[in-house]
Amino acid sequence: DIRMTQSPSSLSASVGDRVTITCRASQNIYTSLNWYQHVPGKVPKLLIFAASSLRSGVPSRFSGSGSGTDFTLTITGLQPEDFATYYCQHDFIMPSSFGQGTKVEI
Amino acid sequence: QLHLQESGPGQVQPLETLSLTCTVSGDSMRSYHWGWIRQPPGKGLEWIGSIYYSGSAYYSLSLRSRLALSVDTSKSQFSLRLNSVTAADTAIYYCARGGQTAITQYAYWGQGIQVTVSS
């Protein structure tokens, strides 16, 4: 079972800030890593797949990087609608698993 | 436009079986993986399992002894059965569509259904 660990668990930021969230896998998952945004009361939204591929329709201020065991989600120029919880998830082998989440607060 | 809708009871008695169904509309189920994810109150997302349109399934290690997934492509539905539920199974349950090769790349989600385990 592959464990996904995110850091930090929460962070405070302001509109316009650059925010970086880290995700570490317990073993090599190559680039089989997805990032989701979850706004309370809404449905989780896929932002990034295969570690660095931006899903169509997702603003370009979101970017992903990394391979192997260490990954990063970066939001460049935080917007009001970006305050949410972000999750990484591996898709390397089954069973899949999510990180514990990173809450981005004002 | 792909649409997924969860259905099932909002409340289940402890030690009983939770049964949920996800109805798919707007596209064929063929060639895709279909998944279940849940979020307990105040906690993060938890992957439950995934089933291919042909019926092969993958399960969370922590739930596999109590869990069964099934699919009925003729009805455009896939289902979850979780037996011997406890309060720890109280959560919002989501169904989602995975990829054709990336099994758990969930680009499309249902709205979620709140399930409470209580007598």
pLDDT tens digits for range A59-87:
999 999 999 999 999 999 999 999 999 99
* Cβ <8 Å between A98 and B47: yes
β-pairing, B57-59 vs B46-52, is: antiparallel
Q: Closest approach of chain A CAs to the CA of B43, in angstroms? A: 8
The amino acid occupying position A52 is: S
Please tell me which residue of chain B has the smallest CA distance to A54: B107
Higher pLDDT, B24 or A40: B24
- Region class of B31: left (phi > 0), else alpha (psi between -120 and 50), else beta: left
- Cβ pairs A/B, distance under 8 A: 61
Q: Which one of B44, B47, B103 has the shortest CB-CB distance to A101?
A: B44
Task: State residue A55's pLDDT score.
Answer: 97
Residues 36-95 of A with CB under 8 A from B: 36, 38, 43-44, 46, 49-50, 55, 85, 87, 89, 91, 94-95
* Cβ <8 Å between B58 and A38: no
Q: Which of B45, B61, B108, B113 to mutate to test the interface with A (most CBs of A within 10 A)?
A: B45
* Percentage of residues in chain A having pLDDT higher than 90: 98
pLDDT lower than 50: segments of chain B: none
Q: Are B60 and B67 in contact (CB under 8 A)?
A: yes
DSSP B47-104: EEEEEETTS-EEE-TTTTTTEEEEEETTTTEEEEEE-S--GGG-EEEEEEE--SSSTT
Q: Average pLDDT, stretch A4-18? A: 97
Which stretches within chain A are classed as H helix? none
* Distance, CA of A10 to CA of A104 (rounded, Å): 6
Residue showing tokens 């279940």: B36
* Distance, CA of B25 to CA of B32 (rounded, Å): 14
Task: State residue A106's pLDDT score.
Answer: 83
DSSP code at position A106: -
